[in-house]
Structure 1
Amino acid sequence: MSAGRGAVPADVTAVDAVIVGAGAAGLSLAHHLCAPGGRPLSVVLVDAPPGRLSPPRRTWCFWEPEPGPYDASLAASWSRLRVRTADGGSVVARLPRLRYKMLRSDDFEALVLRRLSRAPGVRRMTATVHSVRDLPGGGAEVCVRDGSGERPLVRGRYVFDSRPPPVLPPARTTLLQHFSGWFVRTERPVFDPAVPDLMDFRTSQPERGLSFGYVLPLDPHTALVEYTEFSPAPLTSDGYRQALDRYTQDVLGLGTFEVTAREHGVIPMTDGRFPRRVGRSVHRIGTAGGATRPSTGYTFAAIQRQSRAVAARLRAGTPLRMPPAHRPRARAMDSVLLRALHTGRINGPDFFGRLFSGVPAERLLTFLDGGSRWYEDLLIGVRTPVAPMLRTVVELPFVPRRPPRPLPPPPARPEESSS
């Protein structure tokens, strides 16, 4: 088989692993399953046809030590980060060991497809998947529906489904991280390409949650500028445009610029439990499998951890146990933070500003990635508003998990414009 796109075949192929979806999670798992060395595997990657169900172009950011496996495809990386407070102050954090990295989805896809093209046991198909189900004798099958009804497309020993869930799981607290961003090209050299703004709280704050600007500079004239909210519901297209207009002009003072590309997204921030296994041989990966960190929305690094672990087991021929993306202690702390933000007990800009000003940057990033030790968690905890956080800890066990609700679609794409 080859890694090229293929039409739905007339026969049904049986393989080691079927991956549904070619977003960050699907591509990452395929990349790790086809790494050199170990037992070769037969893999089918089922990609949605162009249109509503295909993954939009995205930019993923993460931090890791140098060198990293995707360094050749990065758009940029930085050894410093900046957080700007609501009163105009700023904290610049140096990263002696880590790098903050920016990877665009098109570049990542090209890198993964180069590896898949050299793997003889891989095939990439284009199809709209209707259902995934276990088979009585073991394994699972992926089905499509066309004019003749539902029929199997491919069967595998395991199926890994990355499609977004139709509803979010029951949760005590659910916020959404929703954002809209512009890649801008300015007339004047206004950006410092050495320092991205991780959080800029000089934005109008919503009644519940928080908002911030996010600036990833590529050169003195070019950057990705985003407006982001953590709040219960997305804005309208016009709401995002107004927020970005205010941020680029009133806060950043960019002057005249051209918008060369746009990004939009909605990421669930919830303490609901996403099931990693939904059948004997069917597993969920990516956001659908709980890879998104509830307190930050970061997902890419957790996807890599899960993908490496799954690939190691399959290539070793050992029984598969899908590892959790985040440890129970990290998820418990996320539940507290989400509830404190949702109830308004803590001020979001003040909370994150205090963390970045009072905690060494690499220790804080390790904490945000769920890799800190328990005593490091305690040291970071004393930098937070202790009384409202403790009140939330006491309250949380008595808060019921509310029924699931639909996951809102990404915001509509606004009209092209330049400022």
Structure 2
Amino acid sequence: MSRHGLDENRVADAVIVGGGAAGLCLAQSLTTTGTTAVTVVEAPDGPLRPAERTWCHWEDGPGEFEDAVAASWPRLRVRGTDGHVVEAAPAPLRYRMIRSGPFERLVHARLAACPAAHVLRATAEAVRSVPEGAEVRCTTPDGRVLTVRGRYVFDSRPLRSPPPARTVLLQHFRGWFVRTASARFDTEVADLMDFRVPQPRHGLAFGYVLPLGPDRALVEYTEFSRTVLTTAAYESALRQYTTNMLRLGPFTVESAEQGIIPMTDARFPRRIGPAVFRIGAAGGATRPATGYTFAAVQRQSRAIAAALHRGGEIVPRPHGRRALAMDAVLLRALDTGRIDGPGFFTDLFRRVPMERLLRFLDGGSTPWEEFGIGLRTPVGPMLRTAAELPFLPRRAPARPEESH
């Protein structure tokens, strides 16, 4: 049987639906010991496979996907609306960029070397619980209908509709991979947030610059707001930013990427059947206040692998209760306009040591550190927001619309 073939009588320990970051991270974690039988059902080439995309995270030392890291930066920078610069080295953390193509090739090669792992290129049509496990009905590119069975099924596919929430902001962006005619970038420093761009009436906007070489970088325009923009509006914002703020001079755009990340205080069910679980963004791995997902996906994958080997809650929370409660307050305060977004984030990076702040944003801070960080935020507006949250109803979010 080929690595991409499948015996329908085989019952895997785990069937993973989706071959993105969440699905492949979990497949790698489960097969690390070589004892867990895993089948990954991955969409074939076509409209169901997303375009190549970029994932970023901060990490202490080389990680398990270091071979797929496109670039990393020891220093991070935030610029206020007035141009005030906050720059620091959050050692021992480094900011890392991974592109989905090299990541997928790396994990596929590792799975191909594991006899217990199988990758099936097929479209998952339905997932359901059955006695002693669960099954996935799927269709192969040549039209064959297969049923894949496992003790557990972990579904990473995007939700068709998001859960009800009190607050939903969208992190939406478009980025250019640019090459300049001369050296314009400091390869040691990534610009995490540059608020010198024009700010929308509702929410906030910033530039984001990840140097890939002295003359190459990913430059993005990002908004946190209720509505997305047209592609033409993103392009206009990027032209203004690269010309007026970065002053790049002549450059070419080698490729572009665009995306939307919901930032919400919705409750994402992780168990949807006796043996069926949601993972990744569909299971709440996206950090509500920042949109970062990749680090949480890795933690969740390791925790699932440990639970299947030693027992315990099979899919634990990707983020702690305290972190989610604080994020809910911040999202509501931003959405109501009680706090000024650019000023809030600039002051936070200015007043809190960067390494501590990044650990907080990644859920690795202590309660005492979180209390100290809270005192460095606008206390009045935040307390008012926290007091009203328990009384706000959760509503089903509307579908994202374009603003012009």
Instruction: Name the TM-score, length of structure 2 as normaliser.
Output: 0.95
1:231 correspondence with 2:225: yes
Unmatched tracts of structure 2, length 5 or more: none
1:263 equivalent in structure 2: 257
The equivalent position to 1:380 in structure 2, one of 352, 369, 373, is: 373
1:209 equivalent in structure 2: 203
1:8-407 equivalences under 5 Å are: 11-35=8-32, 37=33, 40-135=35-130, 137-144=131-138, 152-316=146-310, 318=311, 321-406=314-399
Between 336-345 and 115-124, the greater mean CA deviation after superposition: 115-124
- AA at the equivalent of 1:186: T
**Superposition deviation, residue 251 in structure 1:** 1.3
SS at match of 2:319: coil
- AA at the equivalent of 1:305: R
SS at match of 2:273: coil
- AA at the equivalent of 1:46: V
- AA at the equivalent of 1:356: F
Between 45-54 and 137-146, the greater mean CA deviation after superposition: 137-146
CA RMSD of aligned residues (A): 2.0
Could you give the per-residue CA deviations for residues 190-219 of structure 1, whole angstroms, max 9, x where no partner exists? 111110100000111112111111000011
Distance of 1:329 and 1:31 partners within structure 2:
29
- AA at the equivalent of 2:331: L
**Superposition deviation, residue 243 in structure 1:** 1.1
Distance of 1:147 and 1:380 partners within structure 2:
52
**Superposition deviation, residue 72 in structure 1:** 2.5
Unmatched tracts of structure 1, length 5 or more: 412-419
Whether contact under 8 Å (1:83, 1:200) holds in the other structure is yes
Between 299-308 and 61-70, the greater mean CA deviation after superposition: 61-70
Distance of 1:235 and 1:2 partners within structure 2:
45
**Superposition deviation, residue 60 in structure 1:** 0.8
SS at match of 1:181: strand
Distance of 1:378 and 1:10 partners within structure 2:
54
**Superposition deviation, residue 41 in structure 1:** 1.4
**Superposition deviation, residue 247 in structure 1:** 1.0
Whether contact under 8 Å (1:34, 1:115) holds in the other structure is no
**Superposition deviation, residue 13 in structure 1:** 3.4
Count of aligned positions: 402
- The change in CA–CA distance for 1:203 and 1:113 in structure 2 (over 3 A counts) is same
Whether contact under 8 Å (2:44, 2:141) holds in the other structure is no
Distance of 1:384 and 1:75 partners within structure 2:
34
Whether contact under 8 Å (1:12, 1:153) holds in the other structure is no
Instruction: Name the TM-score, length of structure 1 as normaliser.
Output: 0.92
Distance of 2:142 and 2:247 partners within structure 1:
58
Distance of 1:98 and 1:145 partners within structure 2:
43
SS at match of 1:17: strand
Distance of 1:18 and 1:405 partners within structure 2:
32
Between 84-93 and 290-299, the greater mean CA deviation after superposition: 84-93
Whether contact under 8 Å (2:170, 2:224) holds in the other structure is yes
SS at match of 1:92: strand
Distance of 2:181 and 2:141 partners within structure 1:
53
- The change in CA–CA distance for 1:195 and 1:279 in structure 2 (over 3 A counts) is same
**Superposition deviation, residue 55 in structure 1:** 2.7
Distance of 1:261 and 1:281 partners within structure 2:
41
- AA at the equivalent of 2:364: G
SS at match of 1:196: strand
- AA at the equivalent of 2:166: R
Distance of 2:26 and 2:61 partners within structure 1:
21
**Superposition deviation, residue 96 in structure 1:** 2.1
Distance of 2:68 and 2:141 partners within structure 1:
41
Distance of 1:147 and 1:252 partners within structure 2:
46
Whether contact under 8 Å (1:167, 1:405) holds in the other structure is no
Distance of 1:320 and 1:97 partners within structure 2:
31
SS at match of 2:179: strand
Between 224-233 and 11-20, the greater mean CA deviation after superposition: 11-20
- The change in CA–CA distance for 1:328 and 1:73 in structure 2 (over 3 A counts) is same
Distance of 1:100 and 1:338 partners within structure 2:
24
SS at match of 1:41: coil
Distance of 2:314 and 2:118 partners within structure 1:
24
- AA at the equivalent of 1:17: A
Distance of 2:391 and 2:348 partners within structure 1:
28
Whether contact under 8 Å (2:207, 2:241) holds in the other structure is yes
- The change in CA–CA distance for 1:118 and 1:83 in structure 2 (over 3 A counts) is same
Identity score, percent: 58
